Amino acid sequence: MSSGVGVDPRGPRVAAALTSAVLALVVLTGSVWLLLAQAAVFAIGAVAGPQATPYGWLYRRLVRPRLGPPTELEHPAPLIFAQRIGLAVTGLGVVLAALGVSGAAVGAAALAFVAAFLNAAFGLCLGCELYPVIARLRSARGI
């Protein structure tokens, strides 16, 4: 997508780096509050898009002004899908922590950390890669 509505692809990578840092702290400390905060960030991104998250705001205010314009834009739908997956995983972690299964909650945080780190370090958004597969399956089944 070269023009029109889209997302600067560098923004989600910065957000993934921030997400990785938060989730690493969750894994190291077992903090349910940090996990809940990250789930809330994912919830905002899942509903309003990644640009509406606090990380999106930080990117637009602090990072983007120091960079040149993006060479291309990404469609927001795969990014929103990825936010929904992040919400599902971290939300499950919060629920497990509330049920007293703290080890499984940290495991959920670790899983989300791996996905966020892959995006931040290598530009590999697992949710974005899964999005077209799910879309094709839904289309083939008429959903």
Q: Is 138 exposed, middle or buried (0-12, 13-18, 19+ CB in 10 A)?
A: exposed
Give the pLDDT of the chain (143 residues) as one tens digit per residue. Answer: 444 579 999 999 999 999 999 999 999 999 999 999 999 999 999 999 999 999 999 999 999 999 999 999 999 999 999 999 999 999 999 999 999 999 999 999 999 999 999 999 999 999 999 999 999 998 888 77
In a domain, 42, yes or no: yes
Range of the domain at 76: 10-141
In a domain, 5, yes or no: no
In a domain, 2, yes or no: no
Structural domain count, the chain: 1
